[in-house]
Structure 1
Amino acid sequence: MGVPVSNVSYKQIHEEFMTGLNGTSLVEVSVLTLIPVGSTLVRDLFCLFVSDFTQPWLIMLNMFIIIAPLLLSITILNFTDFTILVSLFTIATGMFALIVTRHIQSKNTHRYWSLVKQFLNLEMGNRRPFLSYLRGQTLLGTALTILAVDFTVFPRRFAKTEIYGTGLMDTGVGLFVVLNAVVSPEARGKTSCKSPVLAMVQAVKSSMPLVVIGALRLLAVKKTDYQEHVSEYGVHWNFFLTLAAVKVISTVILSVFPVQLSGILSIMIAAGYQYSLTSLTTYILHGADGRGTRVGLLDANREGLFSCIGYLAIYFAGVEIGRYIFRKRHSVREWVLVLSVFITMSLLLWMALGIVSYAVQPISRRLANAPYFLWMIALSFQLLAVNLAGDITVTCIQSLHPREGCENKKFADDLSSTCLLSAMNYNGLLYFLAANLLTGLVNMSIQTLYIPPSLAVTIISAYISILSGLIMLLYRRKISTRFW
C-alpha cells in the first residue's frame, strides 16, 4: 500500500500528480474513443445469434464486452490500444462476412449488387440508436477515467492537459456539451417559448439539478479538503456549472435568434472568442497580476467563466448537428447519405484543425479556444459516423439473419432491454453523479497513488461493476430518477 504520509502532504503530492501534463497525439485519443464503438458493434452482432434475452448471463456478457476493452486499454494494456481497436473491428467484420457468405450460398447466387440494393431499400425508420450509443459510450468513458486517473496504472498522457495539448480526458466536457446540444429541444424542434424571460426561466429550471450538484460538489471539496486542480475551472467553478451556464445562455440566445442560425452563431462565437484570446490568454493563464494569484470571483474562476464562451460555440454547433440528425428519414439509403455527410464534415474539420492549430494557437481545453472547438466537432462527427455505420451494418445483417419468430422492432426492444448503454442514457445524470460519489469515496478511503497496478485494475473493475449493476437494475425495473 506504500509509505503512509500525512493528509496534507498526500494532497499536495496528488495535486502535483495531476498538473503539468501535455497529453498525447490526436490519433491515439481518436483510437481510444473508438474502442467503445467497436465493442458496441461486436455486442450488437453477437446478439443477433441470441434467441432468449432474459438470461442473466447475457446481461453480464453484455456489460463485459462493452466495458473490458476500454478499461484494459486505459490501464495495463495502454500500449496496445490500437491492437485492441483493430481486433474489435476485425471480429465485427468477420461476423458480417460470415452471415453475408452464408446468405449468398443459401440463395445460390453471386449477385452482390442486388444484395447491396436490397440493403439500401431496407426500412430503418426514425430510430437513432447510434446517437444513444454515443451518449452511453461518453458516460462510460468518463466514469472509468475519473477514477482511473487517480491511480498510477492510468498513463499520464491520457489525463487532462495543463494548458495546451490533447489528452483523452480533455474530450469529456466537450463531448458532453455537443451531445447535450444534439438532443436539446431546439435541435429537435420542440421549443414553444418565444419570450427570452420565459425561456431563461425554463432553462434555469431544467438546469437546476446541475447547479445543485455543482454547488454540493464545491462544498464537499472545500469541507473535506479533497484534492483539486484549481487551474482546470478555477477556485469555485466546476464541470456541472459549465454545463448549466451554457444551457441557460444558449436557450436565451435561441429565443431571440432563429434556431436555423445555430451554425452561423457557432462560427461567429468561436472566431470572435479566438480573436479576443490574443489579449485574454495571458490573463486567463496567469491572472491579473501575471503570477497566477486569484483575487476576486472573476479572477478566481477565470478559466471556468471564460471557457464558457468556447463551450457556447460548441453547443450551437451541436444544435446544428442535431437539427440535421432529427430530420425524418426512413430507408437505409437515406441514412447512408447522412453517413457520407458525417464523414465529409469530419475530414474537413480535421484539416481545418491542422491549419488553425498551426497558424493560430495550439489546442487548449483550458481556454476552450477555436482549435479545441474544431477538435470537438471533428471528433463528434467521427464518432457519430462510426456509430451510424455500425447501426446500418446491424440493420442490414439483421435482414439476412432474422431471429426465429422475431420482427425487427422486437429485436431492437430485446437488445435495448439488456443494453448497458441504454441503461446509462435512461438515468444519465444519476449515473454520472454516482460515479463522482464513488470516486470520492475511493479516494478518501485509500491513497490511490501507492496502489500497485493489478490491485488498481481490480478496484476500478469493482467500481464500474457496482455502477453498471445499479444503473442496469433501475433500467430493468423502469425506475427513472428524472423528476424535473
Structure 2
Amino acid sequence: MINKLEIFLIVLLTHPTNIVISVYNINNVFMQFLLLVFLPYLCIINSGIHKYSHIILLLASMFKKRPKEKYETKGKEYEIVRGIVIILVTIAIFACDFSNFPMRHLKTKFYGMSLMDLGVGSFLFNNGLFISRRKRFSILKSSFILFLLGVIRLMVIVCLRYSVDETEYGYHLNFYFVLSLVYLLYLIFNTKYSLILCGIILMTYQGLLSNGLNEFVFYAKRETFFEKNREGILMIFPSYCILVFSEYLGKIILQTQSNHQTIYKMLLYVLSFFYMFSLCNEKIEISRRLSNSSFVIFIVLFHAIHVVFIKLTAMFCYLPCEFVIFCGRNMMVIFLWSNLLVLLANIFFNLKGFSEEESIISNFVYLSLSFLGPYYFYYKGFKKIKNS
C-alpha cells in the first residue's frame, strides 16, 4: 500500500505553489519567481521551511494590490496546472544531483511513491488535458519532433558516456521516445470507445503483472533489446491511458456550460477516480517502475484535484500571474532548456561534492536561468522584435 506520509509530503510540497498561483496577484516578476519557484525549492530540500512559507504567503496576501478588473479565466486552469508541473519538475531534476536533496523524494526502484515519481505522469496528464483541440497533423508533428529529441538525447548519452538510471526507461529509451510513441497510439486508437479501451488495457496489463511480469521487470537480466528497455516499452500503454483519462477531464473543462455544472462534473470525475484508487490501493501496491493500475489512477487523481482546486478558486478570485501563464504555455521549452543546463552542470562540476550553501546558490542560479532567462528573452527580446 502507498505510504500515506509520502502522499502527504507530495501534496504539501505543491501546496504553497497552488496557493500563490491561484490567489495572489504579485505584479513584480522577480517576486513571482521567488515565491513560485525558489520558495518551493527551499521547501523540498528542507521540510521545516513549510511553516515559514505559509507566513510568507500570508504577508504577501496582506501587502499585495488587488486587481481592479477581472479577466477571462476559462481555460487558464490548464496553463496554471502546467505551470505547477514544470516548476516542480525543473526544481527536482537539478536539485536531486546534490547531496542535500532528501532521499525520500528520489524515484523509487520498486514500490511506493515519491515526488520525482510524479514527473512523467505529470507531463502525460498535462499533454492530454486539451489534446482533443489539436489537429491530427499537429499531434503527428509533435510525435516526430519528440522522436528526434529522443534520438539526440540517446546520441549525447552514448557519445559522452553519460550515466543513466536504467530503471527509469531502460538503456536506449527515454522520456521523449515514450511520449512520441504515446502520441502515435493516441492517433491510432482515438475513438469514442477510448475510455473502454483504456479499462481493458489496464485490467489486462495488471493481470500480466500479477502473473509474473512484475518479477521480470524488477529482476530480469538486460541482454536483449526488450530486456534492456523493458521499463520504457511496458509503460507505453499505461501512459496512453493517462493521456486519455486526462483528455476526458479536458473535455469537461472545454464544454460551454455554467461554472456550477462544470464543477459538478469535475467533482464527480475526481470522486470516481478516488473510489477506483481506494479499491486498487488495497490490493495493488503502487509502482512507478511497473506503471501499474494504482500508479495510473493516482497520477490522474492527483492532478485532477489540482485542476478542481484552481477551478474553484477561479470562481472567487481572478487568476493572475503572467509569469505562471508563460511557464505553462512554454512548458516544453523550459523543460528542454533546463535539461541542457543540468547536462552541462553535470559534465563540468562534481555536484555531489558541493556544500549545502554552494548547492543552494547553484540552484538559485540554475532556476533563474531556467525561468527568468526564457521569460525575459521572450518579453524583452523576441516579443519586442516581433512587434516592431
Asked whether 1:140 is paired with 2:87, we answer yes
Aligned residue for 1:214? Answer: 150
User: Residues 356 and 91 from structure 1, CA distance in 2 versus in 1: closer, same or farther, beyond 3 angstroms?
Assistant: farther
Aligned residue for 2:29? Answer: 59
Q: Distance in 2 between matches of 1:178 and 1:241?
A: 17
Asked whether 1:427 is paired with 2:323, we answer no
Relative to the length of structure 2, the TM-score reads 0.89
1:202, CA displacement in angstroms?
5.8
1:127, CA displacement in angstroms?
2.6
Instruction: Check the 8 A contact 1:131/1:384 in 2, yes or no.
Output: yes
Which residue of 374, 380, 386 corresponds with 1:471?
374
Which residue of 324, 327, 335 corresponds with 2:259?
335
Asked whether 1:30 is paired with 2:30, we answer no
Asked whether 1:384 is paired with 2:287, we answer no
Asked whether 1:73 is paired with 2:43, we answer yes
Aligned residue for 2:289? Answer: 366
Aligned residue for 2:118? Answer: 171
| Map 1:344-363 → 2, pairs under 5 A | 344-359=268-283, 361-363=284-286
Instruction: Check the 8 A contact 1:349/1:374 in 2, yes or no.
Output: yes
Question: Does the residue aligned with 2:316 lie in a helix, a strand or coil?
Answer: helix
Q: Distance in 2 between matches of 1:80 and 1:354?
A: 31
Letter in 1 for 2:76: P
Question: Does the residue aligned with 2:9 lie in a helix, a strand or coil?
Answer: helix
Which residue of 341, 348, 367 corresponds with 1:438?
341
Letter in 2 for 1:252: I
Q: Distance in 1 between matches of 2:264 and 2:375?
A: 34
Q: In terms of Rg, which structure is larger?
A: 1
Range that drifts further, 263-272 or 299-308 = 263-272
User: Residues 372 and 147 from structure 1, CA distance in 2 versus in 1: closer, same or farther, beyond 3 angstroms?
Assistant: same
Asked whether 1:272 is paired with 2:204, we answer yes
Q: How many residues align?
A: 379
Letter in 2 for 1:436: N
Letter in 1 for 2:351: T
Relative to the length of structure 1, the TM-score reads 0.72
Aligned residue for 1:283? Answer: 216
Asked whether 1:393 is paired with 2:329, we answer no
Write the deviation string for residues 138-171 of structure 1: whole angstroms up to 9, x where unpaired.
1111111000001121101011111111110111
User: Residues 92 and 394 from structure 1, CA distance in 2 versus in 1: closer, same or farther, beyond 3 angstroms?
Assistant: farther
User: Residues 223 and 95 from structure 1, CA distance in 2 versus in 1: closer, same or farther, beyond 3 angstroms?
Assistant: same
Asked whether 1:300 is paired with 2:228, we answer yes
Letter in 1 for 2:231: E
Aligned residues with identical type, % of pairs: 21
Write the deviation string for residues 263-289 of structure 1: whole angstroms up to 9, x where unpaired.
3333232222212212321222222xx
User: Residues 250 and 144 from structure 1, CA distance in 2 versus in 1: closer, same or farther, beyond 3 angstroms?
Assistant: same
Write the deviation string for residues 311-365 of structure 1: whole angstroms up to 9, x where unpaired.
1111110111111111124xxxx22443344344334433432331221x21111
- Residue ranges of structure 2 left out of the alignment (5+ in a row): 384-388
